[in-house]
Structure formats: C-alpha cells, structure tokens
Amino acid sequence: MIKNIYNLGDAALYCDFGDTVNKETNLKVINYFNDIRKKNITGIKNIAPSYNKLIIYFDLELTNFKKIKDVVRNLDISTFEAAKTKVVKIPVCFDDEFALDLERVEKRLSLSKKEIVNQLISQKYFCYMTGFIAGMPFLGDIEEKIRLDRLETPRVKVPKGSVGITEQFCNIYTFESPGGWNIIGNSPKKVFTKDPTKLTLIDPGDEVEFFEISKKEYSKLNEQK
Amino acid sequence: MSKNNFKVLRPGINTTFQDLGRDNLYHVGLPFSGAIDKRNFLIANSIITNREDDAVLEFAYQGPLLEFSGIKTSFVITGNVNFKIIKKDTSEIKGECYRTYDLDNKDRLDIISTEKSVYGYLSVKGGFKLNKFCNSYSTTVRAEIGPNDGKKIEIGQTIILNSADSSIKKNLEYFNSKIEFIRVIKGTNFDYFSEDSIKDFTSEEFIVSKLTDRMGMRLNGPKIKNLNKTNIKSEGLGKGVIQVPADGDPIVMLSDHGTIGGYPKIAVVISADYDKLAQCPPGEKIKFKIVSLTEAENLYKIYTMETKNIINKIK
C-alpha cells in the first residue's frame, strides 16, 4: 500500500511505499505503475517507479496535484493484474580486461575471482527498476558474502556494458557513464535496444540470470560497438 | 533537384534538435529532454508560423555557422543571441532576435553567441526534415536517441529542410527579463538539513558553476549541511529537483537529467521559473525563495498566460 503521498514540486506526485527495499514492496510499486499506465489518466505525462517510491509527473496545464492525488488514492488495487514478467539471460565476460575493480573486490571480500564469479552466476536476480541512464537495470539481491560498498571516488567514465556490484545490488551500465559501482565484468549485450517497440531487454519485475562467456565469445557477440 | 539544406561549417558547443520533449519513458530511464527554455521555443515556432511541436535547433553559448543551399528559406532566432547573416557577396547583416529573415542560396548564418544567457533557438519555415523517435524530435545525447542519430550537430554534416513558402514575415518586440528570485517548493528531504543551512539556502546568493549542461546545474555558495543522511535510497528525479550531495553544493536537475538519484532533495524549482533558471550562465548569482504549492500553481497559470500574450503580440 502507499504509505504517504507528497508533492514533488508543483508538477509531480511522490508516492512513498515505506522504508524497506525488498521484492514485495517493489512489486506493489510496479503494480501501481502498470495500472496507472494502462488507465491513460488525463494529464499524466510520465511515471517513474523505483525501489519503494512511485513518482507521477503531470501536465500542470491540464490537471494538478490534488486531482491526481485523488485519482491515485481511489485506485482499486483488488483489480490490479499481476505484472507479466520474464527471465532474461545475460552473457558476461569476467576477463581481467573488463573486471576493473576485481582486485579491490577480492581483497575486501577475502574471496578468489572464481568464488565471486561463481556466486554471481549461481542465482536469478530480480529487476527492481531501470534508469539513471537509459535502460540500466537495478538488480538484486546478491548473496551476503559478495556485498560491499561503492568506490570511495566514483569513476568519471565507466565503460559501456560494465557489470557492477554494490551493497545488495548488481547492474549493467547500458552506456558509458560516471559511476561508483565495483566493476567485475562486461556484457556484450545491448540492454537498451533503441528499438522503439521494445526499448529495453530487462524491465522492472523481470528476472535476470548471468552466464559466463570467454573473451573470444565476447568478441563474437559484441553489440556494444 | 537538391533539397534546401544547411551545411554545418561550425557546429557550436552543444547544438541539438529539440521539441516539446518526450513523455512516458521515465521508467526505462529516459528523461523528458526537449527545449530547455520552453517559452523561447514556442515563440520561435509561432513567429515562423510552424506547428507548435516542430523541431528547432537549440544551441548553447556558441551557436553554429551554417551555409544555406537551395531556393530561399526564412528563419527566426529567439533568446538573447548575437548573430549575423553573411550574404553570398560577403556583405553582412546584423541579426535581431524575434525577427524573420530570408536566406538565399549560399548565404551563411553565423550564430556567434548567446549573451548573458545560455540557450537560443533557430526555427526555419517548414521545419527540419527529421524522423520522430518515440513521438518526439528531441535528441537525448546521453542515450544516443532522437534525430541526428542521437548526436549533437557535427562539423561537415548536412541538415535537410522541409520546403515551405517563405512569403509571410512576422516579428515580435520582446526582451527576456530577469527575475529577482528563483522560487522553489520545499523538497521531500527538506528536514534533513540544518536550520542554519536552510537559512543560508533561502537568504544567501549561489553562483552557477561551470559544471552545468543540459543534464544539470551545479551551484557554489554556502555549503548546505545535512544532519540526517547524505544518501537516500535511489528514487526518481525530475526537472528542477535540487539535490544536495555530501559535499554540500546543490545540483539542479535540468531536462536531460539522470532519471534515478540517491541524494536528498532539498527543494524543487517551480515550473514557472524553470526557463529563467536554466538560462543563467556560469558565474551568474541566484537567490532562492520558498513558496507554497498553491502559490506555485497560480504562478504557473500566470506564466502560461504571459506566454500566450507574448505570442498574441506577434505581427
């Protein structure tokens, strides 16, 4: 349920689903997102779901905070349909060339590269949200033993395709971007497709499975150029 | 027969195609984008009698130098812009904003610079020949989408224009005014900050730093102290949201901002003042003033009414 609704500026509604970040809370956010999107409510221009928040942007010329708040408050959640989700398999190369922070990660976690990689590819991850840069998935939760903090000084340029871990999450940098996650591999897959009918390979609510590929396979599959 | 076109002899610093922006894609990580200064965008298309949602070229600081080829076209430039037309016989005409001019075959348009502002707009009669991406002509460089393959305008490239009748010549008397304060609404993490810092935020001057582009504007001034948490769980952002990272220097999100962020939100610029804030160049001093949601909504009504009145004065 939505715990609180605030205004974010004069043209957005900020729905707070509580402090905890877990799959259960996030699925509620995603269900609200899907339902509101489906309803095509007058004046709503954009909706941004995240771990435990939903921000709804509206056109101040057509509606206002009070009106949209009433609409959202009165949504009948019993009619919400469960989100259609899928499992997405993502190839990752963990070659030293791509694993920019492996040394730091090995040291911090007191684990070998093989142990870290095997742990990462041993389970499926839930996609909480996509964004920051176009199509970038925030995936979780990774096993306790491979969790660590962000880099003290973020990188100015994280290479496109980089696979990173931080805290309980992992992600894929869909574009070259500044960033502070620990980079341990790189995927040749174009996760943000630029195909207008299907912009992203991974959507909120989906499950993602990583599988290891060699450098040779990486060059063959490379779509990042 | 070759089509009316511009050859880019100098691209300018950050020249991109823009329109009213792209809705409904925040959830995949795409911000609205679109012309930063919406009022000057709308005025440009109105003077040249294009459709409201036709694409324009937006430039920042230094604009492009373009050579026209084809049969006469007309254009207008809006903002606060220093430009000239270099005729084929090398005679020069000093340009005035908000005035319709013609270009003949091999004339050059030199958009020298924006003055005491950041963004300017070039609209040509009939518009540019472009394809929409997800219902918009806006280029989002960071996601490599939109016209021109998602890129800024580059040297040597050709820009194709739609053919159009250029007999109507409309003009407008208009000056971009400054406002004394940038008005804001309290952000969702307003109470994270110390009383002294809130006082500084609403009474001291902040200077627009050089770390400013279409994504965001970093400010320097008194350091804003956070008493609670310097990071929050990553969540959505929006145009005009002011985040304060651990270093205490506020960052205002602009139209191409990253869609998710984890710094506390101290305030949000009201919709009516966004254009004016975004037009402040590095070095300019700004002051914030807190208003209520109701005041902000009324100020936006006034802003849209003013825009309509300005457009009605075009003759």
Residues B150 and B192 in one domain: no
Q: What is the pLDDT of residue A82?
A: 84
B38: in domain? yes
B173: in domain? no
B145: in domain? yes
CATH number (domain holding residue B223)? 2.40.100.10
B223: phi > 0 → left, psi -120 to 50 → alpha, else beta; which?
beta
Residues B20 and B127 in one domain: yes
Q: What is the pLDDT of residue B2?
A: 59
Mean local confidence (pLDDT), A27-34: 95
Is the confidence at residue B1, as pLDDT, over 70? no
Instruction: Residue B244: name the closest of B217, B227, B265, B215 by CA.
Output: B265
Buried b (16+ CB within 10 A) or exposed e, A185-218: bbbbbbbbebeeeebbbbbbbbbbebeebeeeeb
Q: What is the pLDDT of residues A196-222, one digit of tens each?
A: 999 999 999 999 999 999 999 999 999
> Would an 8 Å CB–CB cutoff place A220 in contact with chain B?
no
B186: in domain? yes
Confidence of residue B166 (pLDDT cuts 50, 70, 90): confident
End-to-end CA distance of chain B: 34
Per-residue H/E/C for chain A: CCCEEEECCCCEEEEECCCCCCHHHHHHHHHHHHHHHHHCCCCEEEEEECCCEEEEEECCCCCCHHHHHHHHHCCCHHHCCCCCCCEEEEEEECCCCCCCCHHHHHHHHCCCHHHHHHHHCCCEEEEEEECCCCCCEEEECCCHHHCCCCCCCCEEEECCCEEEEECCEEEECCCCEEECCEEEEECCCCCEEEECCEEECCCCCCEEEEEEECHHHHHHHCCCC
Residues B29 and B83 in one domain: yes
Structure tokens at B63: 């604009």
Do B312 and B170 meet the contact criterion of CB atoms below 8 Å apart? no
Q: Which residues of B touch A6 (CB under 8 A)?
A: 188
Q: What is the pLDDT of residues B46-67, one digit of tens each?
A: 999 999 999 999 999 999 999 9
Residues B90 and B136 in one domain: yes
Side-chain-side CA neighbours of residue B271 (13 Å):
24
Write the single-letter amino acid at B305: M
Rounded to two decimals, the pTM is 0.95
The residue segments making up the domain with residue B69 are 5-160
Q: What is the pLDDT of residues A165-183, one digit of tens each?
A: 999 999 999 999 989 999 9
B256: in domain? yes
Do B240 and B217 meet the contact criterion of CB atoms below 8 Å apart? no
Residues B202 and B293 in one domain: yes
Q: What is the pLDDT of residue A139?
A: 97
Q: What is the pLDDT of residue B253?
A: 97
Mean local confidence (pLDDT), A116-142: 97
> Would an 8 Å CB–CB cutoff place A43 in contact with chain B?
no
Residues B111 and B242 in one domain: no
**How far is the C-alpha of B140 from the C-alpha of B21, rounded, in Å?**
10
Of B145, B268, B271, the CB nearest to A60: B271
> Would an 8 Å CB–CB cutoff place A175 in contact with chain B?
yes
Instruction: Residue A83: name the closest of A15, A153, A30, A19 by CA.
Output: A30
> Which of B243, B259, B298, B305 would best serve as a mutation to test chain A binding (most A beta carbons within 10 A)?
B259
Confidence of residue B198 (pLDDT cuts 50, 70, 90): very high
Residues B129 and B259 in one domain: no
**How far is the C-alpha of A124 from the C-alpha of A142, rounded, in Å?**
9
Of B25, B260, B270, the CB nearest to A10: B270
How far are the Cα atoms of A93, A137, B249 from residue A90, in angstroms, in the given order? 10, 12, 38
Q: Which residues of B touch A21 (CB under 8 A)?
A: 233
Q: Which residues of A touch B265 (CB under 8 A)?
A: 8
Q: What is the pLDDT of residues A57-67, one digit of tens each?
A: 999 999 999 99
Select from B127, B160, B193 the last residue of a domain: B160
**How far is the C-alpha of B186 from the C-alpha of A13, rounded, in Å?**
14
Q: Which residues of B touch A166 (CB under 8 A)?
A: none
Of A9, A21, A53, the CB nearest to B241: A9
Q: What is the pLDDT of residue B168?
A: 84
Of B23, B24, B185, the CB nearest to A9: B185
* DSSP string for residues in B54-101: --EEEEESB--EEEEESS-EEEEEESSEEEEEE-TTS-EEE--TTB-E
How far are the Cα atoms of A95, A99, A153, A154 from residue A157, in angstroms, in the given order? 19, 14, 12, 9
In which element (H, E) is residue B38 found?
helix B38-47
> Quick check: B142 and A8 CB within 8 A?
no
Of B29, B188, B297, the CB nearest to A10: B297
Confidence of residue B163 (pLDDT cuts 50, 70, 90): confident
Confidence of residue B167 (pLDDT cuts 50, 70, 90): confident
Do B116 and B80 meet the contact criterion of CB atoms below 8 Å apart? yes
B252: in domain? yes
Our count of domains for chain B comes to: 2
Residues 6+ apart with CB under 8 A from B140: A134, B22, B30, B31, B33, B146, B150, B256
> Quick check: A134 and B271 CB within 8 A?
no
Is the confidence at residue A114, as pLDDT, over 80? yes
User: Which domains, ranges and CATH numbers included, belong to chain A?
Assistant: 4-79 (3.30.1360.40), 87-221 (2.40.100.10)
The torsion angles phi and psi of B296, rounded to 5 degrees, stand at -60, -40
Mean local confidence (pLDDT), A87-116: 96
Residues B146 and B226 in one domain: no
B25: in domain? yes
Residues B193 and B247 in one domain: yes
B266: in domain? yes
Residues B150 and B208 in one domain: no
CATH number (domain holding residue B65)? 2.60.120
Residues B226 and B134 in one domain: no
Do B17 and B44 meet the contact criterion of CB atoms below 8 Å apart? no
Q: What is the pLDDT of residues B215-263, one digit of tens each?
A: 999 999 999 999 988 888 999 999 999 999 989 999 999 999 999 998 9
Q: Which residues of A touch B266 (CB under 8 A)?
A: none
> Quick check: A133 and B29 CB within 8 A?
yes
Residues B126 and B16 in one domain: yes
